[in-house]
Structure 1
Amino acid sequence: MKANHDKKLHPKAGSGIEKIQWQDDELGATEQGTVISRFGQHADVENNDGTIYRCNLRRSISSLVCGDKVLWRLGKETEHSIRGIIEAVHDRESVLSRPDVYDGVKPIAANISQILIVSSVLPAFNSDIIDRYLVAAEQTGITPVIVLNKIDLLNALSQDEQTNIEQQLEIYRTIGYQVLYGSSQSNEGISDIKRQLSQHVSIFVGQSGVGKSTLVNALMPELGVITQEVSQNSGLGQHTTTVARLYHFEEGGDLIDSPGIREFGLWHLTPEQVFNGFREFEQFQGLCKFRDCKHQNDPGCALISASEQDIHPKRLASFQRILASLGDNKLTSRFND
Structure 2
Amino acid sequence: MPRRRLSQRQIERIRAIQDRRRRRLEERTTDVMEQLDDAEPRAGRVVVRHGSNLAVEDDQGQVHHCLLRRNIGQPVCGDRVVWQPTGTAAGVVTALQPRDTVLSRPDYGGRDKPLAANISLIIVVVAPRPAPSGYLVDQYLVAAELIGVQALILANKMDLIDPPERGAFLQAFAHYPAIGYPLLPVSVKQDPQLEALRPHLAERTSILLGQSGVGKSSIVQALMPDRDIQIGRLSKATGLGRHTTSASTCYRLANGGHLIDSPGVRSFRLGAISRSQLEQGFREFAPFLGHCRFADCSHRHEPGCALRAACEQGIIAPQRMESFHHLAGLAAG
**TM above 0.5:** yes
Amino acid at match of 2:61: G
1:326 corresponds in structure 2 to 331
Shift of 1:228: 5.1
1:10 is matched with none
Provide the residue aligned with 2:35 in structure 1. 26
Alignment of structure 1 residues 253-264 onto 2, 5 Å: 253-264=257-268
Question: Is residue 2:290 matched to residue 1:281?
Answer: no
CA distance, structure 2, for counterparts of residue 118 and residue 37 of structure 1:
23
Shift of residue 20, structure 1, vs aligned partner: 5.7
Q: How many angstroms does 1:237 deviate by?
A: 4.3
Bigger helix share: 2
Could you tell me which residue of structure 1 aligns to residue 320 of structure 2?
A: 315
Q: Does 1:266 align with 2:270?
A: yes
Structure 2 Cα separation of the partners of residues 20 and 37 of structure 1 = 24
Letter aligned with residue 50 of structure 2: F
User: Which is greater in Rg?
Assistant: 2
**Distance change >3 Å, CA 195–CA 108, structure 1 → 2:** same
| TM-score (structure 2 length as normaliser) | 0.85
Which amino acid letter does the alignment assign opposite residue 255 of structure 1?
A: L
CA-CA distance at 1:153 after TM superposition: 1.6
Query: Would the alpha carbon gap of residues 267 and 108 (structure 1) be closer, same or farther in structure 2, given more than 3 Å must change?
Result: closer
Deviation of the 1:26 alpha carbon? 2.1
Q: Deviations over 1:34-56 (max 9, x none)?
A: 11111111211111222111111
Shift of 1:190: 0.5
Mapped pair 1:91 → 2:104: no
Aligned to 2:218: 214
- Report the Cα offset of residue 57 of structure 1: 1.4
- Corresponding residue number in structure 1 for 2:75: 64
Of 272, 281, 291, 2:295 maps to 291
**Aligned partners of 2:203 and 2:255 also within 8 Å:** no
Rounded Cα–Cα distance in structure 1 between residues aligned with 2:292 and 2:193: 43
Among 290, 301, 304, the alignment partner of 2:308 is 304
Q: Does 1:121 align with 2:125?
A: no
**Residues 17, 59 of structure 1: 8 Å contact kept:** no
1:71-220 superposed matches below 5 A: 71-75=82-86, 77=87, 83-102=90-109, 104-155=111-162, 159=164, 161-187=165-191, 190-220=194-224
Cα contact 2:66–2:93 (8 A) shared by 1: yes
Q: SS at 1:152's partner residue?
A: helix
SS in structure 1 at match of 2:140:
helix
| 1:239 aligns to 2:246 (yes or no) | no
Q: In the alignment, is the contact (CA less than 8 A) between 2:247 and 2:262 conserved in 1?
A: yes
User: Following TM superposition, by how much is the alpha carbon of 1:295 offset from its aligned partner in structure 2, in angstroms?
Assistant: 1.4
Give 1:209's aligned amino acid.
Answer: G
Contact 1:182 1:189 in 2 (8 A): no
| Alignment check: 8 A CA contact 1:18 1:59 kept | no
The equivalent position to 1:51 in structure 2, one of 46, 62, 81, is 62
Q: Residue 225 of structure 2: SS of its match in structure 1? A: coil
What letter is aligned with 2:179? I
Q: How many residues align?
A: 306
- How many Å separate the matches in 2 of 1:288 and 1:188? 49
CA apart distance, 1:252: 2.0
Give the drift of 1:229: 5.6
Q: Distance in 2 between matches of 1:318 and 1:101?
A: 24
Q: 2-side partners of 1:241 and 1:189: how far apart?
A: 23
Amino acid of the structure 2 residue aligned with 1:205: L
Over 3 Å counting, the alpha-carbon distance change for 1:143 and 1:110 in structure 2 is same
Shift of 1:126: 2.9
CA offsets per residue over residues 120-139 of structure 1, 9 Å max, x none?
12222332221111111111
Supply the distance in 1 between the matched residues of 2:207 and 2:80 (Cα, whole angstroms). Answer: 17
One-letter amino acid of the counterpart of residue 319, structure 2: K
Q: Which is further off, 231-240 or 276-285?
A: 231-240
TM-score (norm 1): 0.84
